[in-house]
Structure formats: structure tokens, C-alpha cells
Structure 1
């Protein structure tokens, strides 16, 4: 369960979307091995979409596996279960697998994830094994593009650029991708046995910065990758670029990720172009539904070098006799002052044009300002209308509680002083809650509301005080389960979260009461379970009220959708807005154990989900 919660947050908050079914469109599912924000896959998908988006009949859906940050067998098993749920009853024309993790994951779990004979397409992997495909029973269903890095050629380029080279350091991390590159690296080492080569796979950024902090004339570095350090901690591209830029030895690379970021350059794979080739392959397969599997090797390279780095290490590229692109080239005087030169030629006729244009824009802005004020006013009126409805909804339960307490007090004429004080205290608690509700909604319509740190357990206990009498006299047992002496601190809006939980508990109570209409002996039960996970807290609110009809399940969070005769349909909608939009969390509902279960996931304090 803890990994699934993290996966849901990643899937719903890093641009996850479903493909909609349509007879006249083709649908491509993209399973990305990494998280959104991982530069290599982001650039590849950017290039792919440049091609795919030109065809309006093709739609794409992206799932992010986040395999750089977590890649245990338990994680993949739970990821499979999650994808089975997400992909159920969905048909895709093609499934694109971005890099090795997604490729191996799909091969292993194909029969459980895909029920419509979907064809698979891989991209970005460096080693393709037909035998693995055959063992997976997927012969005839897999096409793809093998990314071939020019490792041997780059070693030769380094040798020619530095004819007195005595020692070459090759950096390649210890990961699955590193293992694929390892084959080509060791072949290059064996073919250059006259050169001293130190092959580094286990290290840290600090160790490498220290190791290469001193310039040595006849030494160089060939950087392949270094995303995972000795402790298997993930490094961002920014951290890696900073490390490469600090090296006092010329550092060559295999792709475009670190050019202008410390790398001297080399014979590079342009990741965006790899994405474009992948896009063209996808369109080719879509246009010919009966096409046989296509396996291509991407071996299109660009010779790109950093002029400043070449100058710093006294290197030149004259021997290449290839088309070479230079970056960081110093600007000539004309280039540096081009805008001033251009201005001299065009300023006179353009000046009059700009005066007329400014006058026209001024008139247009005056007109638009009035229109915008009208639109804003309409928006505010609509917002106030929703707030008034929400206040009425939030006040309903405290008023019922007060009514129950007063009736109970009247029915018992003999009360001790302590009992009188307790009843008075309970009634005042409900009144204070109603007052706080008004204050909360007043804050809601202000430009911003300040987030605070608070304990989830305290919020739940306080919320239960609001409805405990009403729950009790509805013959419903309620259980709250959480670990003692465990702080569950989150950052957000305490009162609004209480209102959200109250909406769910009240819905559970109403479902149970509905069951008791047909069975007077029916015993209601509501369980509130709080779990602490590594990166989030999970709240599960379950009841035995019969569950939610399948036809209603997809709509229960829609505004103004209700199954109650006198319901207004904004309770669960506002709950979702508060949990997901205002507290950056997640809420969804499932049916189990003859009832409904609402699952809420919120980040714990100081957890960082950025890439």
C-alpha cells in the first residue's frame, strides 16, 4: 500500500491523463521509465510530440514509472496492480516503452496489462535481445529503435584530439542502463590496450570533484552517465552538470544533455532527434496496421563542441573533416551590437508606427478593462453563491447535533451539575464550529489563505466531536485507528480538511441510515484508519452502508451531482477541491466489504516530490 500511494500521487500530479475512446482516432499509450522532469526522457518525448502532434488523429497518454528513484521488485509488483486498474477496459493501438525499465516491465507483465493484443514499441534501449522477446511470447508484436551511442568513435576522437594522451578516465554509473553501455565501453577498452584507462562505476559526486580538481596535461575524461552514486542515490542533471563543469580535465560525452554545461562535446546523440525518429516510427506503424515488426538502430550523430572548452584545454577539431557545430562561440562586434545597428536603419519609419500602435492599444485596453471588470464581477457572484451553499451544507450537522443535545437535556429532568456543564460544553462546541465555518469561508474568498502545520490525528478527533452525538443516536459504531505516539504532521488548511472529512463521514452515516430503513436491526459501522508511510499519510474512511453504485462512482466528485433526493451535490466536490487543489493531495473512492471506502493521501511535512 505505501508504494501504491506514492504511485497515485505521481500519476495524478505529474501530467497523467487517459486516452478517450473514439472510432476515428488512434491512441498511443506511453510508459515512461522515469519521472516528469527527468531531462533525458522529457527531451525524447518533446521531440516525439513534435512529430505526433502534427497528426490530429493521434492521441497520447503518458504513465510515469519513476524508476530512477525507486526500482524494487515490490514497487514493480504494486505498480503492475495499479496499471491493471488504470488500463482496465482500455484499448490502445500502440504502447510506447521509453527506455529499459518500461521495456522489461511491459515484457514481463504483458498478459496482465494488455487484453487487446496491443503492439509494443520501445525506444532508447541500447541492447535488444530477440531471445528475451521470444521467451516472453511476444514475437511479432514488438518494434523499436535501439539507441547506439558512439562510444568507440568518441574514444578515437579523444585520442586524435590529444595525441599525447596518457590516461583516460571513463565514468559510467552502476545501473541497468550503465550495464547496457558497459558492453560497448569494455570493447572500446580492449581495442585501446596501448592507453591507460581507469573505468569508474562506483563513486560519489564529491569524490569525483576532488579527483579531477587538478589539471593534468595528458589526461582526459569520457563521461557516459552518473545518475546513481555508490549509495544508489539519484542525482539530477543540474547536479551532474555542475560536477562536469568543475572538472579541470577535458570531459567528453555521448549525448546532447551536457553540451554547454561543462562537456567539451563529441560525436553526440541528439535526444530530441531520437524522439522525432521514434515519432516517425509510430506513425509508420499506425498507417500500416499489418506491418511486420520494425527494429531500427538510431545511429544519427552530430559533431558538437564547446568553443570555450576547446580553447581552455588547447584542443582543435581540424582533423575531423566533418560538419562541426560550435557552441559558446565569442560574438563579433557586429553580432554584439546588431540590435543597435538594426535600430539605426529602422527607427525613423517605425517610430511613427509605434506611436499610432500605442494609441490604438491604449483605447483597446480601456475597452478591455471594462469588460474584464464585468467578467470578474460575474465570477465573484458565482463564487459567493457556491460559498453560501457550502455554509448551509456545513451548518446542517451542527444544528442536528444541537437539536439532539437539547432534546436529550429536556427528556432528563434530573441532571447533576457536571452533566449540565457537559451538555452546555457540547452545545457551545457546535456553535463555535459554526462560527469557525463562517470565518473559514470568509477567508476562502480572500486572495490567499495561509497554510499551517497541524497533526492529522488532532483534526480527525476534533471533527468527530462535531458529529459524535448524531452518530451515537443513529446506532452507528465508529472506530478510529492510528499508531499511538506518532505525529502525522502535514502542511495545509486544518479547518478545511475537517470540513472535507466531515462530508465523508456524513455521507457514510446517511448510507447506513438508508440501510436501517429496510432492516431495523442493521448495525452501522464506520472505521477511520490512519497510516503513516515514508512520504505521506493515508486516511481511509470505510462504512458498511452498501457502497456506491457503479454508475455513480465516476461522478461522485462532480459539482452538483447527487444521488440524494434533497442533496445539492457540492459536498464531495468541495472535498476534492480542498484535498487535491488546495492541499496537493489525492482522494478517491472504492467499494469493498459491503460498503464504500474513501482514501485520502497527503504529503508529510518536509517531503520533497520534485525531480
Structure 2
């Protein structure tokens, strides 16, 4: 029991750990744009350690095209693309994706939490415009003032600062922030801002800058005034070729192309921060508990080659800057070698100790494994359920004693055989198909079959199957645990018949009502023939009519008995049968009894020109109908007739997509809410002499035997029983 509990805990933990999480990453720009690529690579790297995260990435490409019609069509595309997918988290990068989410969140991703990164000019008011509140993220904030301060310190004799920008969404946002800073520094040096030149004019302006007292702040340049589009490298490298002065910037993706550096907004830092937030959410943390990081994680970063070219010492002004392309010193090289050597020696020592301990542990484990194998054999044989396991070819590899007893063979005789050696061909073929499906899908299966043992004993068996893997990860085969439900089925069948017998009193009363009119008619015929005989008016014609009329009544009475006898027979096989035929036969049995109880019974077929069929057990289904209608009739007689009030039983029959629905409604008053949820329980009854089996067996027949549903509810003073049954084999 201890091992079983431990296995169960580990199994359910494994199931929970393997739950796949789907994340959608929406980029404002295109693949190949370094800012976007760095964010993507960082997120992918941080997600790669968790195999349960599936990341889907899409690119809006709004650097190249951002017309409203394009954005609208993009929303329609995503609607079609992701209509049948459910995401656990959405990550958006940059402002255009944020604006897109503001417009189309409810249309595309309703109720999914959203994380943002790379948002310029972040303001809390931006969130107030959103229709959703499950959002957090990290803002992208370029620190222009600190870069101005850095430039002025590194170049105390600076006279001219040229600012290069474009008219993109990000460019406009930076221009707005620049205005205040330019005003502050305009008296210290001359500042020239340009975003309206073509590339050739811009190169001319840059080449004419004085090399001793000028600098450039390169913001962005993806498209010049002629409409020519550049990659991030193309525009910067064109300027770098003709520049004799240091170039500073605001983003880290220009750093390796010849930029001196600055306090840079880092795509890697944005990706690091937002991916950590994402992992917390995917591991169960509520997004509302993750505050928005309004302070952008900017870093002082510099290019060693450019610092050396212009003889700049940033260590005077910046503490612990990040320097790229810096050559390693001899000390650093030897330090690394020394550290690596120590680590290798330590690792080798640890490996030796571990190997020695491992040998001892393996010897101990081999002994424990042998004991465990013996224990598992005893455990399998102790379990009363028949159990077997077989390989991918369908050949039995082993079983417990219960299975060997079931197929009347020894264990050794079972090994190497297949299902075709022990079970009838149809059953073996069906199970072979189930096994093949399991091996393809690595899922589990539950199926049921009936067969006769070698001693001609009928068995009802439930098969619970699952695929197992070998230690190397390859598919080993299938394990099956059988559950013999023969006794349970026989008990339920007995209860069904017992519940039928419980209805016997009502049935006899129904037959008495059915026979009442034909007996009166026969009595009148006999008296009439006797009178004719005494008056000597009896003719051959009168005798013939008497016989014919009498036979009509006798046949009617005989049919009543036949209907009653058919009702008592249990159905042995599932089949398709007509709902209307079943109701007609029930009406033949109890219709007149209902009528003489001053109750009107209405049948409403919503699909009037269609014959509605049910797949199941016909007589048991009629038993359910008889029980519910009889209960309704008795309740109406009890509650309505003393008030001299006519009762109603309404039966609605309707075809739905996968089910046929039957509603049986009576107006005898609502069921007490305290007991309405208990009326389908076994032996629960509100009648003084009731057995409490009728509705319990109705639930067993409808839900277990016929794979349907039955429930009851109150509607004011009406009680509505609803039955849903499949109209095809399930």
C-alpha cells in the first residue's frame, strides 16, 4: 500500500508537470530587425529550459507597412489562424503591437493575460483605455538626459551635437522627449536636430562636421525623406563610413556597428525581464500580482574599439560599464586557465568518489531490485483482477494467476500467445484494433466485452489498457487490467426486474381498465344472443355476428396480455427502436387508466414528419417511461382530484444534434427542494409503502445501460423530467 501511494503521488505530480502551456509572442516589427530578433532570442533561450512551454511567434511588420486597412486584415488573419487554439499567455513587443491589442483584444484573445515589453513613452493612462485589466510588463524608456550628460562629460570642449532621427512612431516619441532636453543644453553647445533629409544629404552634413569638437547622437533611421527603407545596419553604417566624430546612441543594437555607446536601451534586458515575468505566470502566479516595471532596465554599454579610436575613458564617469570587444589581459587569460584547471581536478576527484559510491550503491540496488521483483510477482498474484502485459506485436509477455485462471491455462502457456488463442475472433480482432490505436496515440483505453469461458460460463469484462515504455524510452507494449463485472450486471438486471414487479399493482390496475370495456361489450352480446334464443328469433346470421363481435373483444383483451408480457421480458441486446412506437405501447397499457383518473396526457412531437429512433434497450426504456408516468399519475390523483381539478401530463419529444430529448411534465405540484436531489438514490422514497427502486433503476437504465442522461427540475408548480438518449450507436 505504501508503494502504491508513493507511485500515485509521483504519477499525478508528473501529469501536472507535463501540462503544456501555449504562449503567443506578437512583434510589432519584422524578423531580421535586430531589436525584435534580440527580444525573441532572449525569450526563446529562457523558455528552452521548460519543455512544457510552446512558443508561437508572429510579426506584424509595421516598420514597412502600417495602414489601417493592413492592421484590420492582420486581425482577420490572426482570427482565422488562432480560432481553434487557446493560449495561456500573450506577449507583445513595442507600441504598434500594444495599439493592436487595444483594438482587437476582445475580438481575438478575450480573457488571456497579456505581458508587454519595449513600450515607448509608457504612461499609466495607456492602461485606462484598455477593455481588459489582466496586463503587466516592462516599459522601454530611453534616458536621453543622461546620454546628454554623458556626452558633455566625455567631450568637455563640445561645440556641435548633431541628432539624427526618422519620422517613425518610435522616432516621433523620442522627438517629443528631446524637446525638453535640447532646451536645457542649448546654451552649452549647438544642437542640430534633423529628421527630414535623404541619405545622401545626411552623409554630406555628417562628413562636414569638425572632428575635434563635434559629436553625433544617432536615434533611428529606417526610412529617409525619399521613402527609401534601410535595415538598422545599413543606415548606421552609411553614416559611420563618412563620420570623423564619435557617434552615440540610445539602443544597443547599433553597438557592434561602430557606435561609441551610451546609456542604452537593451532588447536583451527587455527580453530577460518579460520572460521571467512570463515564467512566473505560467507557473501559476496571478498577473495582477506582478507589478509593471516602469523603469526601463537600461545599461551603460560601450564599444572598446570606438573608445580607443577617440581616446575616451568612460571609467572616470561610469561605474562598472559593460565594454564589448575588449581584449582579455594576460592576467585574465591565466586566471581563467587556473580556474578551469582547479575545476577539472575537482571534478575528476568528485567523479572518482562518485564512481566508488556508485558501485556500492549498484550492488545494494541489485539486491533491492531482486527483492522488488519477487514482491511485484506476489503483489500481482494477490490482486483479484486478471492482469496481463504484452509486446507491440500483441504477444503476451506475462500475467497474474487470475488471468491464467480466466483463460484456463498456466502462466507458461499464456506467454508467447495472442488474444486470438484465448478469445473469440470478433473480440480478439476488436481488441487488436484498440491496441494499435493505443500504440499510435500513447493514450489509455477502457472497453467492455462479453464472452463464454471454457466451462461455458458467461463473463462481462471491462478492459483498462495503457501503453508502457522501456527504460530507454522505446514503446514496450500494453498493460491491461480486467474488471469482472458479471455479478454487478446480474444484480442490476435483477433490480430492474424487481422494479418491474414493484410496478405490478399499477399494471394489474391498467389491465383491469383495459378489460373493462370489452367485458361490458361481451356481456351485452351474450345477453342479446340469449334474448334472441328465448324469443326463438335466433338466426345463423345472428350467431355469426355474435362470434365475430366476441372475437374482436377477446383479441383486444389478448393483445393487452401480450403487451404486458412483452413489457416484463428483459431486453438482451441494444438496438435502434422507434420512440413513438414505445410511447404507443405504453399508452396501450396505461392510457385508459390515466384517462379514467381525469388526467389529460398530451404527446407533442416537435419533429412531426420524422421517425425518431433511440439506440438502446427497448423494454427497459418503456419501463422508465411507465415508472415516471405512473408516478406523475399517482401524484396528480393525490393532489389534484380532491380539489376536483383536472390533471395534465405533457410529453415533449424532440430531435437534437446528438440526442433525442424527451420531457415528461406534470402539474401536480413541485417536488420539495430538500429532497429533489435525492430522488434518484437507491431505496429513497416519499411513499409510505414505496420501495425506492423505480427512479434509481431509471437512472441506471438511462445513464449506465443506454449512455444517456436523466434529470429532474421544478418549474413553478410543474415537475419536468428530462431524458436525453443517443440516436445512434455510441
Q: TM-score, normalised on structure 2?
A: 0.41
Which fold has the larger relative contact order, with Cα–Cα distance below 8 Å and residues 6 or more apart in sequence?
Answer: 1
Q: TM-score, normalised on structure 1?
A: 0.49
